[in-house]
A and B are shown apart, each in its own frame.
Chain A
Amino acid sequence: MQSREEAFMARVQSGEKVEVMDWMPDEYRNLLIKQIHMHGISEVMGAYPEREWVMKAPTIRRKLALNAKIQDEIGHGQMLLRLAEDLSQPYGRGREDLMDDVLDGRVKFHNVFHLEAPTWADAGVIGFLVDGGAIITQAMLLGSSYAPYGRMLKRIVAEESFHMQHGESVVLALAAGTPAQKAMLQGAIDRWWPAMMFFFGPREMGASSRRMLDYRIRTMTNEELRQKFINRYAPRIQALGVSIPDPALKQDPATGQWSYTDPDWDWFSYVVHHNAGPRSADRLGLRREAHDGLRWAREASLQAARHFAKEADHGISAGYAGL
């Protein structure tokens, strides 16, 4: 006789989709929370390296576009955290808890957002390569067995297509610009390439990533994603007249597989697990400023809502502003 868990596994492996209120094994729920929580928080933390450049964007159009792009990332964070919150209901954990986790080091975020972004070209290259990498990962996750995640990613990927064009546009303008602009671009590629090799995770996937494959939460391995990324981006970077800081980067003409120099796995892994990157503390400090520093404002909104609910109970017109 098949156990409930085995029957669930058989169903997701045959392509069936799961909804939030459906019965699911604890392991499946916990893997989903881990994945979607980290994904959502990474979107939010991704706002910090880029927001440094909104105040300094070089044209009106770039300033508006970068502002809109960061807003989208925060919006994606909001939508993903809502999914993680729904999944966390049996544990009695909501938005406050999931956000507290960032400040208390209980949830990781992507390695790239711990790093320096010292020039405008970094803002462009984040849009070009980090968003490019994220799009590849997210397109893979569209086929996820967890339907609410798949549906939301459809929306997210559609919005990312603007990010992709925006990032490429900034990078193309720099590549076509003055020697100073080109040098700025080269510097940014030199900084971000090794980080992107780490972005997709180790060659040998960890136990939980392998379980996510079993459950069809994800559908491709880290290495498959990295190969897709290199194959798409290496030729484009070289076409811009920018060099890639990896002498070992080479495609095997027979298999199509790329060989590359391994990033410093230990260092990046330490950065992600201990929030120990060069800018981790600053960016967590900003998140703390918003989340802890303005907790009183969120509490105020709860108090105000209670005040108006009471007035409505007593037949007093709440007179909510403007609406």
Chain B
Amino acid sequence: MEFPRDTPVYEVFAQREALSFPTHVGSVRASSPEMALQMAREAYFRREAAYDVWVVPESAITRAREYPEVLPVAPEEKTYRLPGGYDNAPLWKRFKAEAQTIEQVAEEMAAKKEGRS
């Protein structure tokens, strides 16, 4: 077996808080996943805390940019699946009721939770 000169590369993903998704922040070289976690802490978290950190062997990642046909694109024609593709407000007005958005619902629920309503 060929003995490698370099320790393997681990890509580092950080989750800042419980409700955020892990985001790629960089990479480290380390001899094991456990050491990679210690090194990720040193390389990317000298000034901030993290809710969780993932280290992933570089070789485990496949990128869509290498397969352009599967690279996601925003649907230009599929207005039916976008909120902006609807025009309910004038109709609600005709029925003498108020139009609403999901943001308003979320805001109301948040206010309830904090006992503001």
A and B in contact, CB less than 8 Å: yes
A contact residues vs B (CB 8 Å cutoff)? 19, 21-22, 68, 71-72, 75, 78-79, 82, 85-86, 94-97, 152, 155, 159, 298, 301-302, 304-305, 308, 320-321, 323
- Least CB distance, A19 to chain B, in whole angstroms: 6
A298 near B34 with CB under 8 A, answer no
Assess A320 versus B32: contact at CB under 8 Å? Given A21-B65, A82-B9, A95-B6.
Answer: yes
Assess A301 versus B31: contact at CB under 8 Å? Given A19-B65, A78-B43, A152-B26.
Answer: yes
Assess A78 versus B34: contact at CB under 8 Å? Given A94-B6, A302-B7.
Answer: no
Contacts of B5 in A (CB 8 A): 94, 96-97
Interface SS of chain A: helix
Contacts of A86 in B (CB 8 A): 27
Contacts of A159 in B (CB 8 A): 47
Contacts of B31 in A (CB 8 A): 301-302, 304-305
A78 near B28 with CB under 8 A, answer yes
Partner of B3, one of A71, A94, A302, A320: A302
| Residues of chain B in range 5-51 having any CB-CB distance to chain A below 8 Å | 5-7, 9, 25-29, 31-32, 34-35, 37, 42-43, 46-47
B contact residues vs A (CB 8 Å cutoff)? 3-7, 9, 25-29, 31-32, 34-35, 37, 42-43, 46-47, 63, 65-66
List 18 contacting pairs A-B, 8 Å CB cutoff, sorted by A. A21-B65, A22-B65, A71-B46, A75-B42, A82-B27, A82-B28, A95-B29, A152-B26, A155-B26, A159-B47, A301-B35, A302-B4, A304-B32, A305-B7, A305-B32, A308-B32, A320-B34, A323-B34
Which residue of the partner chain A has the closest CB to B62? A21
- Least CB distance, B70 to chain A, in whole angstroms: 14
Contacts of A96 in B (CB 8 A): 5-6
A85 to B29, CA, bound (A): 11
A86 to B61, CA, bound (A): 14
Contacts of A301 in B (CB 8 A): 7, 31, 35
Which residue of the partner chain A has the closest CB to B27? A82
Contacts of A320 in B (CB 8 A): 32, 34
Contacts of B7 in A (CB 8 A): 95, 298, 301-302, 305
A152 to B25, CA, bound (A): 9
A75 near B43 with CB under 8 A, answer yes
A207 to B3, CA, bound (A): 40
Contacts of B34 in A (CB 8 A): 320-321, 323
A298 to B32, CA, bound (A): 12
A94 to B4, CA, bound (A): 10
Contacts of A75 in B (CB 8 A): 42-43, 46
- Least CB distance, A301 to chain B, in whole angstroms: 4
Contacts of B35 in A (CB 8 A): 301
Given A85-B9, A323-B34, 8 new contacts (CB under 8 A): A22-B65, A75-B43, A85-B6, A95-B29, A301-B35, A305-B7, A320-B34, A321-B34
